[in-house]
Amino acid sequence: KALQAYQKFLYNEAKDLVASHPRNTTGNSKIEDWRLFCTKEKAIYNILNQCEEGMILRVNVWYPTAEEAQIKGILKSESDLTPDSSGAVLNADRPPKHAMPPTYIRTNEYTEAFQEVVDTYGIPRYQEANPALFATVTFPFIFGMMYGDIGHGMILLLAGLYLVHNAESLRFTQPVLFMARYMLLSMGIFATFAGFMYNDFFSIGLQLFPSGFEDPDGDGQWSPTYDVTNSGGKGPYPFGVDWAWHGAGNELLYINSMKMKLSVLFGVLQMIVGLLLRWSNAIYDRSLTDFIFECVPMMVFMLCFFGWMDVMILYKWTHPIDNSPNIINSLICMAMGQQDNNPLWQGSVELAQKLMIYTVLSVPIMLFPKPFILLWQHNREEKKALASGHRLMEDEESAGPSGGHGHGEEFEFGEIFIHQIIETIEYVLGTVSHTASYLRIWALSLAHQQ
């Protein structure tokens, strides 16, 4: 009896904790109200711990200049509601000369989740270009390339629509799903689109349009009915992959090649967009040193090798070649300086050799000039300071936006030179490793198709 009474007591207490208030049956439960109260109190005390004690509580904060009037208005309205006329006041102060403001990025309910993903890899410096704007498209698009299936994409799309429609019920109960709801919706849209491009519905091809192949004898030997020479005749399947490829004996060979090349194409394109963002940062900071001796040779390295690889892929797709070259072998011949006996066109081998020379020359340009230019700029500024009777303050934070190493320490040429060596090696090896990493799109897409 004692055990039953104890169990009944626990049951009633638990029922009371999860039940809504009698006056508000649609509101939160008691335990949820307690959780929200503890979260609120914790946030308040977290802010109070950052204040300086005294006659008044004082705290130094950064805030957007455009929102200064709004902040003062909110503080004034809240202060007017207090009975003892005590409240908060915002006193604008000019920051120190070499202080670096924190990065503040405006987000909305759609971009918030993508910004969180970008911030896990690194937060842009103050006034730098924010790559999260591009990630709102590239992230779900690349996911769609890996997860391209009409059926599975529609399931994910419906899940995203459900989360968006019931967002308010998830705001406090499931905050992670609430923040990621638009990301899931975008991923579902792009996965469905890629599924139509792959013509893959749970590994089944949909006969949406007439096929570009025919089997007149019924012996399984399909022949194309469109102009395979691309000389102005009938075009191929109008949208996506022809359904005749599904179940074909050479399906894996064809799909494997197509998806691998698509992954490399979009991977190199995304890396070029990243370099263009670096260009924009250098132009905004008005740093000719970074632009000429980092941005330009980086772009030359990228375009002359990996861009040329994309050109070969697109050329083979659009130009029928009797003895078509193997792209991997052509790249090996290009890098090793060997003779390629299967050129894409007359003179393509000579062009590839010239591009390889530009690729190799761009590496020392990335490596050597910038450290010596920074050393020359430092010595020039030091001489000017000595000539004016003042000692140059060894604070290199001011050189950060103008191409300095930005460590905020004394100028050390050896340290800057080592930093430049590491950055150059990281970029050269990174382009190769990133290109190989994009092949995971192809691998995961094939695994999902099977």
For 166, the token pair is 């019931």
Which residue has 């194309």 as its token pair?
224
| Residue 160 to residue 253: CA distance in whole angstroms | 34
Nearest to 174 by CA among 159, 188, 186, 189: 159
CB 98 within 8 A of CB 398: yes
Nearest to 304 by CA among 431, 195, 164, 219: 431
* pLDDT (0 to 100) of residue 404: 44
Q: Which residues of 234-265 are buried (b: 16+ CB within 10 A; e: fewer)?
A: eeebeebbbbbbbebeeeeeebbebbbbbbbb
| Residue 399 to residue 286: CA distance in whole angstroms | 12
How many CB atoms are located within 10 Å of the residue 52 CB?
9
| Residue 342 to residue 323: CA distance in whole angstroms | 7
CB 435 within 8 A of CB 267: yes
CB 258 within 8 A of CB 252: no
Pick left, alpha or beta for residue 283 (phi over 0 → left; psi -120 to 50 → alpha; otherwise beta). Answer: alpha
Tell me if residue 97 falls in helix, strand or coil.
coil
Beta bridge partners of 139: none
Query: Residue 110: in which H helix or E strand, if any?
Result: none
Instruction: List phi, psi (to 5°) of 29.
Output: -75, 170
* pLDDT (0 to 100) of residue 20: 81
* pLDDT (0 to 100) of residue 406: 42
For 219, the token pair is 């012996």
For 159, the token pair is 């899940």
Sign, Cα dihedral of 340, 346, 348, 354 = positive
pLDDT tens by residue, the chain, 450 residues: 788 888 888 988 888 888 887 777 777 888 888 888 999 999 999 988 888 877 788 888 888 888 889 998 998 888 887 777 677 888 888 777 777 889 999 999 999 999 999 999 989 988 899 999 999 999 999 999 998 899 999 999 999 999 999 999 988 889 999 999 999 999 999 999 999 999 999 888 899 898 888 887 777 788 888 888 777 778 888 898 999 888 888 888 888 889 999 999 999 999 999 999 999 999 999 999 999 999 999 999 999 999 999 999 999 888 888 788 888 888 999 988 888 888 888 889 999 999 999 999 999 999 999 999 999 998 998 888 888 765 544 444 444 444 444 444 578 899 999 999 999 999 999 999 999 899 888 888 888 776
Query: Residue 189: in which H helix or E strand, if any?
Result: helix 175-198
CB 259 within 8 A of CB 443: no
DSSP codes, 228-291:
TT-SSS----SSSS-GGGTT-TTHHHHHHHHHHHHHHHHHHHHHHHHHHHHHHHHHHTT-HHHI
* pLDDT (0 to 100) of residue 399: 44
Q: How many CA atoms lie within 13 A of 246 on its CB side?
A: 17
| Residue 225 to residue 238: CA distance in whole angstroms | 13
| Residue 70 to residue 75: CA distance in whole angstroms | 9
| Residue 400 to residue 378: CA distance in whole angstroms | 13
* pLDDT (0 to 100) of residue 397: 43
User: Any residues with CB less than 8 A from the CB of 273 and at least 6 apart, and which?
Assistant: 134, 138
For 149, the token pair is 């299936």
Tell me if residue 13 falls in helix, strand or coil.
helix
Looking at this protein, which amino acid is placed at residue 128? E
